[in-house]
């Protein structure tokens, strides 16, 4: 029988595109990640990946096996939730921080639903795009994008396959045209995001030829990611946002994706805790709940156009 951790490493590797990226995400060594996939391949008697010096891609057998591996992990996750639901300990105060755009537009209704399922849970939310101080602000957890720089923190993946995507409104594209290449972004008004003293104006893309960095400029910046998204929807420029942030706008036709989805910089969504003692039953149930909602959210069909 395949080992559960080998299945998880296999699925995570397919979502982030390399053993090293999967290892960073799961806080293990690249050799351990590669070895786990090799062990799984030996157990199954097939090659799951085609390996080369420049890239890693699924084999035909890997493509066939991937949905079953995902389903097995999801079934086990839901089983853990089912065992935990209804216990008296799914109660108490949860102090969470989350990004402004994702928090207001996606997570808030999910948290409403979670609280209806677990009415003994009390929520205290900090909605901000600045990196939260888990210790200083006495938070139980923070919902963040990207890989952790501080390895002493505990990271639980919510949406490992999420990436950034370049978008603009149909009105902007009608007036100024659609960039045909990454380099063409230099000629467009790019809406930029500020965190602390840093302006994110060097956009990273993962192309078939490797990572490409494009220096962009524009006439608007903000430290609030929701404001930047609203500017894009209003037709004021091009934006480079997490796919989770703009999913509804893309499905509703308010924004149009400009480049292939797999060009975008990986932006895994994670639930971050200060230490493992913070992983209360309530927080573990929340993690499983949000993971399931993220997966369902990505599978929703586009809205019909008027």
* Beta carbons of 99 and 145 less than 8 angstroms apart: yes
Q: Which residues pair with 115 in a beta bridge?
A: none
* Beta carbons of 239 and 191 less than 8 angstroms apart: yes
Cβ–Cβ contacts within 10 Å for residue 264, how many?
A: 22
pLDDT tens across the length of the chain (306 residues): 788 888 989 988 888 888 888 888 777 888 888 899 999 999 999 999 988 766 788 999 999 999 899 888 878 877 766 665 555 468 888 999 999 999 999 999 999 999 999 999 999 999 988 877 777 778 889 999 887 665 567 888 899 889 999 999 999 999 999 999 999 999 999 999 998 778 999 999 998 888 999 999 999 999 999 999 999 999 999 999 999 999 999 999 999 999 977 789 999 999 998 777 778 888 989 999 999 999 888 877 655 554
Spatial strand order in the sheet of 256-257 = 239-242, 164-168, 256-257
Reported residue count of the chain is 306
The three-class DSSP label of residue 125 is strand
Which of 175-202 are b and which e, b meaning 16 or more Cβ less than 10 Å from the residue's Cβ? eeeebeebeebeebbbbbbbeeeeeebe
Rounded to two decimals, the pTM is 0.69
Domain 4-83, what architecture?
Orthogonal Bundle (1.10)
Where are the domains positioned within the chain?
4-83, 88-160+268-299, 164-263
Domain 88-160+268-299, what architecture?
3-Layer(aba) Sandwich (3.40)
CATH class of 164-263: alpha beta
Decide whether 4-83 matches 164-263 in CATH topology: no
């Amino acid at each position: 029988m395949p080992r559960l951790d080998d299945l998880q490493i296999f699925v995570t590797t397919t979502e982030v595109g390399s053993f090293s990226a999967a290892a960073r995400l799961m806080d293990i060594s690249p050799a351990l990640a590669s070895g786990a996939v090799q062990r799984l391949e030996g157990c199954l008697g097939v090659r799951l990946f085609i390996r080369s010096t420049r890239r890693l891609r699924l084999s035909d057998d890997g493509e066939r096996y991937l949905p079953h591996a995902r389903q097995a992990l999801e079934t086990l996750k839901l089983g853990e939730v089912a065992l935990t639901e209804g216990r008296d300990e799914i109660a108490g105060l949860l102090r969470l921080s989350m990004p402004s755009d994702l928090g207001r537009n996606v997570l808030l209704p999910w948290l409403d639903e979670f609280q209806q399922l677990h009415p003994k849970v009390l929520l205290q939310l900090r909605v901000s795009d600045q990196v939260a101080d888990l210790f200083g602000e006495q938070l139980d957890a923070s919902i963040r994008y990207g890989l952790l720089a501080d390895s002493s923190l505990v990271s639980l993946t919510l949406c490992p396959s999420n990436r950034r995507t370049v978008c603009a409104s149909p009105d902007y594209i009608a007036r100024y045209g659609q960039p045909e290449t990454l380099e063409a972004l230099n000629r467009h008004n790019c809406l930029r995001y500020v965190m602390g003293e840093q302006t994110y104006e060097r956009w990273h893309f993962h192309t078939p030829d490797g990572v490409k960095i494009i220096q962009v400029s524009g006439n608007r910046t903000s430290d609030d990611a929701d404001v930047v998204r609203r500017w894009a929807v209003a037709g004021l420029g091009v934006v480079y946002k997490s796919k989770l942030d703009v999913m509804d706008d893309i499905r509703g036709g308010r924004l149009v994706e400009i480049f292939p989805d797999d060009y975008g910089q990986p932006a895994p969504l994670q639930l971050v805790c200060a230490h493992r003692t913070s992983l209360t039953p309530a927080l573990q149930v929340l993690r499983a709940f949000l993971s399931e909602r993220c997966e369902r959210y990505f599978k929703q069909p586009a809205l019909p156009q008027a």
